[in-house]
Amino acid sequence: MSEEEKVHLGLKLVDDDDYLKALNVFSELVYEFPSNPDYMSTCLFLLDRIVEANHDFEPETAEQYHFRGLSKFYKEEYHESIADFDRAIKLKPRMDYALKCKAFSLMYLGECRLAIECLLNAVKLNPAGEYFDDLAENYFRLDEKETALLYHEKAIQYSPNNERLWHNYGAHLGKMGQYEKAIEMFDKAIVINPNYDDAIGKRIYCIERKKIE
């Protein structure tokens, strides 16, 4: 079944109020096409509808546990979200995105070392740029800035067309006072996305800071 056919099926199931089956369809789309944010937001919307209709709803699949964990994360229920991500991983050990999400919850709890362990396991399964970027963020929070920069390099190596990764690299360089190199990173992000306001704003800031010094 093609992407278009899956979307059509999922939307039809939503129209039929068959939210659980629709969630399963859009879950597949998330993992097949992770760069499309609409699929992720649709899954979270469907999960909220399912829980509203059935407060005793208990996930049955790894994907359902994963999205319930995401829903709890957005509600800042970090410990509870980790429990759901763990269940998802137990059901599907190679579910690298659940490892990434668990790492995010751990990071927000201040457990950066444990988050790094999760991300390194995710990288073994899928060396994606965003996972290296998350590793960089955790190392930066631990004040291990040189290690953070090494992972930023890996992130852009694996995903050179992701403007967010160039932006994040530049942001950390800017915080370290490496303004000239930070500007180069923001320039890369802006080439990919000329309307990237955060990158444009930080670039201007770095130029001003560079003038002062």
Token reading at 180: 């000239």
pLDDT of residue 63: 86
Domain parsing of the chain, residue ranges: 127-213
**168: nearest Cα among 146, 195, 142, 140:** 140
Alpha helices in 33-128 (DSSP H): 37-53, 62-74, 78-91, 96-108, 112-125
pLDDT of residue 165: 95
Rounded CA gap, 124 and 103, in Å?
Answer: 14
pLDDT of residue 3: 87
Length of the chain: 213
Q: Which amino acid is at 70?
A: L
Segment-wise mean pLDDT, segments of 10 residues, the chain, 213 residues: 87 87 82 76 82 76 87 89 95 93 95 97 94 96 97 96 95 96 97 94 93 77
Three-state DSSP at 104 gives: helix
Indicate left, alpha or beta for 177 from its phi (over 0: left) and psi (-120 to 50: alpha): left
CA dist 62 to 97, 188, 197, Å? 11, 37, 36
Rounded CA gap, 21 and 8, in Å?
Answer: 13
Tell if the pTM clears 0.85, that is, is over it: no
**104: nearest Cα among 135, 126, 75:** 135
127-213, what's its fold? 1.25.40
First to last CA, the chain: 58
